[in-house]
A and B are shown apart, each in its own frame.
Chain A
Amino acid sequence: MTAPLIRLEGVEKVYRSGSIAVHALRGIDLEVYPGEFVAIMGPSGSGKSTLMNIIGCLDRPTAGAYYLAGRRVSDLTEDELAYVRNRQIGFVFQTFNLLPRMTAARNVEQPLIYAGVGPAERRRRALVALERVGLGDRAHHKPNELSGGQRQRVAIARALVNEPSIILADEPTGNLDSRSGEEIMALLQQLNDEGVTILLVTHEPDIAAHARRVVTVRDGRITGDRPVTERLLAREVLANMAPGGELRWEDRPAAGGEPA
């Protein structure tokens, strides 16, 4: 059996505000293997966001150990964590978080700048990534010229461009109508089929059902970890969804819009 990509051992996270200590995570053990598609589910306040931040190397555990691709990352310095985020992790956010002044291609290029890749190679790889998410023809559009679903595709291309070990998607369909959301899930499933490891955080069971494995978090502990038995295939859902000639929701501007 291959080595786990992600291994958490007794990870705890305590936030202190004044004299009050909040135990966000109370001992998490989790292993994720290459090629998996894992959904982390839980209500708000369950600690799933904290878990996501630690796995994403945005935060460090108070206790316990975290190994990413065999390397212990739980006690790296801030700059080392930045390096790991750049090379190993691709983030996809609920609100897309694209840079509004830049074209799709420039947005996708950004992680490569921090990786020290030269301009020509950056552009080439950005266009490949956009092609991969089906937006090859939108490379020179700015975010406000794209629909919500298209924006999230750009964000996925940005997450993919540095060929990370894992994609972390935090409620990626939360700001999309159901059709665009389903299309994003179809893209994630397609990428997973191509071998990309995906960790999805969601509170919607319908979205979690697109993964292959669901981990349930509650009160800072893992309360469930099971494979998905009746997996939803987004491609099939989409086929049943839209009779021909109906309004194309995908073309509507995204709810919420881009952050300023």
Chain B
Amino acid sequence: MNLWENLRLAWEALMSNRLRAALTMLGIIIGVGSVIAIIAIGRGTRAAVIGEIQSLGGNLISIFPMQPSGSEGRFEMLNEDDLDRLPLVVPEIREVMTQDLLRTEVRHGAKRRRADLVGLSAGYAEAYRMTISPGRWFTREEDAAGARVAVIGSKVAEDLFGSEDPIGKAIYAAGYPFTVIGVVQPDTGLLARAFGGFGLEQMVMAPGTTVRRITGTRDIFTVDVVVKDGADLDQVVQDIKAYLKAAHPNGEFGVLSTQQITQALSSVTGILTGVIGAIAAISLVVGGVGIMNIMLVSVTERTREIGVRKAIGARRSDILWQFLIEAVVISVSGGLIGTALAQVPVWLVGRALDIPLSITWDAVALAVGFSVLVGVIFGVYPASKAAALDPIEALRYE
């Protein structure tokens, strides 16, 4: 076999019927293009989401109440005692933070709106990378003392104050007066945009102690635990579960580390990418059938040529290679064009989500390898049909 000569013949054959070649390639272009784009977008968004979760604190563990299985009792909540005991029982815990939520109404002067009054520990501003401007976040001392201070979301500030500076002004939440000390700007992270936002800009945030005093309960909605650096997260999760079982025998709690959330998210996006990719790969098969169809037509049209080639000394294998390589050239050209065109959706999605997306070399190698495979699989039958032609019959063919 003369590879170079066969490539040249294949190129000449394609160039002699460009429209047909382009239409034949279309299936492969779409197939390879969509597979590559999906892989790139899937990988890129997953990396961005995971990166963002990890930036929230790689060693955070959330504890939240769940419906006890097999009972109709109400959720058993964590309470303030647990906050004191947890760091003692599990020494790897550096800080315990709480989240409480109260759906209520906020008011400033005559302006009022509904908002969530969220009681938080002082550590959250840092853990969630909140942007506070103007003003400041509350201190640990204010939290411990149950100070009536509030950090309001930018949207709440706009609704209640308009263009007025809210810092130092009073608002009423759930009927209690609070002094506004800061304004939280909307979250700009990918997660916030992808899932509609945590809605920080719609909240009124106050020290957890203060909020629990208002609600008159010692129960806590959610606890986030910051683990000391270097601690074994899985072990800490086990220890926390053991403590909860002892302290709340009737309760049911979810204990999730950021690591577990990342893993779960990662496997979900992985499966999603795989499934969509597989659906896209079906179009590669359709494209392959298109190639086979055109190659069969081409073999029939070029029966005479095959006869002549055999008469001047081509062996079966020479003809087989010629047509096989032509099929592979079609599919690989389609694969390369598809790879090139995949840059467009990848760039658009990357720009829309504001995350870095790129087509990696292994994806390109996979696509090209796949298109060679498609070309060979769907080219073998037409090529062997051509190779098996009887030279006398072929020369006589009109």
**Which residues of chain A have a CB within 8 Å of any CB of chain B?**
53, 56, 58-59, 78-79, 82-83, 85-87, 91, 93, 97, 99, 101-102, 110-111, 113-116, 158, 162, 259-260
C-alpha gap A168/B301 in the complex (Å): 26
Contacts of A115 in B (CB 8 A): 313
The CA of A101 and the CA of B11, in the complex, are separated in Å by 11
In the assembled complex, how far is the CB of residue A130 from the closest CB belonging to chain B, in whole angstroms?
Answer: 16
By the criterion CB–CB under 8 Å, are B311 and A91 in contact? yes
Of B12, B316, B392, chain A has the most CB atoms within 10 Å of the CB of: B392
Question: B214-222, B282-290, B302-310, B337-345: which lies at the A interface?
Answer: B302-310
B312 contacts A by Cβ under 8 Å: yes
Shortest beta-carbon distance from B64 to chain A in Å: 72
Contact for A111 among B313, B316, B317, CB less than 8 A: B313
**Interface flag for B2 (CB, 8 Å):** yes
8 Å CB interface, B269-320 against A: 301, 304-305, 307-318
The answer to whether B312 touches A58 (Cβ under 8 A) is no
The CA-CA distance from A56 to B398 in the complex, in Å, is 21
Assembly CA distance A22 to B361 (angstroms): 63
Contact between B310 and A82 (Cβ–Cβ < 8 Å)? yes
Residues of B contacting A87 in the complex (Cβ-Cβ under 8 angstroms): 313
Interface size counted on chain B using CB atoms at 8 A: 24
In the bound complex, what is the Cα–Cα distance between A102 and B5 (angstroms)? Answer: 13
Known: A53-B392, A85-B313, A99-B305. 15 other contacts (CB 8 A): A58-B311, A59-B392, A79-B316, A79-B317, A82-B313, A82-B316, A87-B313, A91-B311, A91-B312, A93-B395, A97-B307, A111-B312, A114-B313, A114-B314, A162-B313
**A78→B312 CA distance, assembly (Å):** 13
Shortest CB-to-CB span from B299 to chain A, Å, is: 13
| Residues in A neighbouring B304, C-beta threshold 8 A | 97, 259-260
Asked if B308 and A99 make an inter-chain contact with CB atoms under 8 angstroms apart, the answer reads yes
Given contacts A56-B311, A58-B391, contact A260 B12 (CB under 8 A): no
Say whether B69 faces chain A, with CB atoms less than 8 Å apart: no
Taking CB atoms, residues of chain B closer than 8 Å to A93 are 308, 395
| Chain B CB within 10 A, most for which of A58, A59, A115 | A58
Q: For residue A53, which residue of chain B has the nearest CB? A: B392
- B316, B317, B391 — most chain A CB neighbours (10 Å): B391
**Per-residue contact bits, chain B 1-21, to A (CB 8 Å; 1 contact, 0 not):** 010010000001100100000
- Rounded to whole angstroms, the CA-CA distance of A115 and B2 in the bound complex is 11
Cβ-neighbour of B12 out of A53, A82, A101 (below 8 A): A101
> In the complex, are the beta carbons of B316 and A78 less than 8 A apart?
yes
CB contact between A110 and one of B12, B312, B317, B392 (< 8 Å): that residue: B312
CA–CA, A91 and B391, complex, Å: 13
Contact partners of B317 in chain A: CB under 8 A: 79
List residues of chain B with CB within 8 A of the CB of A158. Answer: 312
A47–chain B nearest beta-carbon distance, Å: 14
The answer on a CB contact under 8 Å between B313 and A86 is: yes
Instruction: Pick the residue among A101, A102, A114 that contacts B312 (CB under 8 A).
Output: A114
Partner of B13, one of A53, A101, A113: A101
Residues of A within 8 A of B311 (CB): 56, 58, 85, 91, 97
A-B contact pairs, 28 of them (CB 8 A): A53-B392, A56-B311, A58-B310, A58-B311, A58-B395, A78-B315, A79-B315, A79-B317, A82-B315, A82-B318, A85-B310, A85-B313, A86-B312, A91-B312, A93-B395, A97-B307, A101-B13, A102-B12, A110-B312, A111-B313, A113-B2, A114-B314, A114-B318, A115-B313, A116-B2, A162-B313, A259-B304, A260-B301
Q: Is there contact, CB below 8 Å, between A114 and B305?
A: no
A162 CA to B313 CA, complexed, in Å: 11
Residues of chain A with a CB closer than 8 A to B316's CB: 78-79, 82
CA distance A158 to B309 in the complex (A): 11
Chain B residue at smallest Cβ distance from A91: B311
Greatest chain A CB density within 10 A among B2, B13, B308, B395 is at B308
Q: Which residues of B have CB within 8 Å of A116? A: 2
Query: With contacts A79-B316, A82-B315, A259-B304 known, is A113 near B5, CB below 8 A?
Result: yes
Given contacts A53-B392, A58-B391, A260-B301, contact A83 B308 (CB under 8 A): no
B313 touching A83, Cβ below 8 Å: yes
Q: Nearest chain A CB to B13's CB is how many angstroms away?
A: 7
Q: How far is the CB of A182 from chain B (nearest CB, A)?
A: 25
List B contacts of A111 (CB < 8 A): 312-313
Query: What are the 5 closest A-B residue pairs judged by CB atoms, nearest first?
Result: A86-B313, A114-B313, A111-B312, A82-B315, A259-B304
A53 contact set on B, CB distance < 8 A: 392
Partner among B315, B391, B392, B398 whose Cβ is within 8 Å of the Cβ of A114:
B315
> Which one of B12, B313, B395 lies within 8 Å of A97 (CB-CB)?
B395
CA separation between A101 and B310, bound complex, in Å?
18
Given contacts A101-B12, A102-B12, contact A58 B313 (CB under 8 A): no
User: Are B315 and A110 touching (Cβ within 8 A)?
Assistant: no
Q: Which of A59, A97, A162 contacts B308 (CB 8 A)?
A: A97
Q: How far is the CA of A85 from the CA of B317 in the complex (A)?
A: 15
Instruction: Give chain A residues whose Cβ lies under 8 Å from the Cβ of B398.
Output: 259
Cα distance A114–B311 when bound, in Å?
Answer: 11
Interchain nearest-CB distance for A138 vs B (Å)? 19
Provide the bound-state CA to CA distance between A96 and B314, in Å: 18
* Residue numbers in B under 8 Å from A56 (CB-CB): 311
Contact A58 to B12, CB < 8 A, known contacts A78-B316, A91-B312, A97-B304? no
Which residues from chain B contact A59 at a C-beta distance below 8 Å?
Answer: 392
Centre residue among B12, B301, B312, B395 by max chain A CB count within 10 A: B312
Task: Determine the residue in chain A with the shortest Cβ distance to B12.
Answer: A101
Closest chain B residue, CB of each to CB of A82? B315
Nearest-Cβ distance from residue B4 to partner chain A, whole angstroms? 8
Contact with A along B132-170 (1 / 0, CB 8 A): 000000000000000000000000000000000000000
Name which of B12, B301, B304 has the most chain A CB atoms within 10 A of its CB.
B304
State the Cβ distance, B201 to closest chain A Cβ, in Å. Answer: 67
Interface residues of B in 7-57 (CB under 8 A from A): 12-13, 16
CA distance A97 to B302 in the complex (A): 11
